[in-house]
A and B are shown apart, each in its own frame.
Chain A
Amino acid sequence: AQTVTQSQPEMSVQEAETVTLSCTYDTSESDYYLFWYKQPPSRQMILVIRQEAYKQQNATENRFSVNFQKAAKSFSLKISDSQLGDAAMYFCAYLGGADGLTFGKGTHLIIQP
């Protein structure tokens, strides 16, 4: 079974600084997708960014980018120019042959003003 590990239960960053959230996963599949979801206090799950494993180029969405290392099974999220609205729980998720997402335990991101 696939597993997703987020080793940082909590991270804190100063507003306007850059922060990187870590995620590693374990799989024997060669074709899969990886996602970062944001969950603010409202509990809504919001897609931040997605990466297809067959693509070598790292995905980017405005201030959000990933560092996808397929051989190392690592998928970190970098948030540049952190804003107060970025404060939330961030979940790394894996999608492979089975259709359901496998989530990590999450990282609580705190933005210090």
Chain B
Amino acid sequence: DAGVIQSPRHEVTEMGQEVTLRCKPISGHNSLFWYRQTMMRGLELLIYFNNNVPIDDSGMPEDRFSAKMPNASFSTLKIQPSEPRDSAVYFCASRRTGGRLQETQYFGPGTRLLVL
């Protein structure tokens, strides 16, 4: 299996620009998660989807952040406009939901975002 795929791996942009991060979950997984990692706040959940439907977006920091999952194999996290404080590593994770043995989330390699 290819694992969770994220692109780009690194992104450098200027304040005010739109940033789009992409994620392809593991085939057959029906839950997808977006996390953000910063030095100050550690790893925190931003939003997650079950069967392509957003379930909990309470972790999304503000309206500048939005996430979509148009189909089972693709999700985007968009920041518009970006700000320097959005600089972080953004992880996508997926899992197959449906039973006790299927609760493990598998992480992608992350996207390192730097907003200047």
Contact = CB atoms under 8 A, between A and B. Distances in A.
Contact of A103 (B43, B50, B59, B89): B43
B104 interface: yes
Contacts, number: 51
Given A35-B104, A50-B104, A100 B59 contact: yes
B89 A43 contact: yes
Nearest to B95: A99
A42 B109 contact: yes
Contact of B43 (A33, A52, A91, A99): A91
A91 to B, nearest CB: 7
A15 B55 CA distance: 44
B55 A99 contact: yes
A99 B56 contact: yes
- Chain B contact residues (Cβ within 8 angstroms of A): what range? 20 to 34
A98 B103 CA distance: 12
Given A43-B89, A45-B91, A106-B42, A98 B112 contact: no
B106 interface: yes
A105 interface: yes
A47 interface: yes
Contact of A43 (B31, B100, B112): B112
Interface of B: 31, 33, 35, 42-45, 48, 50, 55-56, 59, 89, 91, 93, 97, 100, 103-107, 109-110, 112
Given A43-B109, A99-B33, A99-B50, 20 more contacts: A35-B104, A37-B107, A42-B109, A43-B89, A45-B91, A45-B93, A45-B107, A95-B105, A99-B48, A99-B56, A100-B33, A100-B35, A100-B56, A101-B45, A101-B93, A101-B105, A103-B42, A103-B43, A104-B42, A105-B42
17 contacts: A33-B103, A43-B89, A43-B110, A44-B107, A45-B107, A46-B107, A47-B106, A50-B104, A95-B103, A95-B105, A98-B56, A99-B33, A99-B50, A100-B35, A100-B48, A101-B35, A101-B43
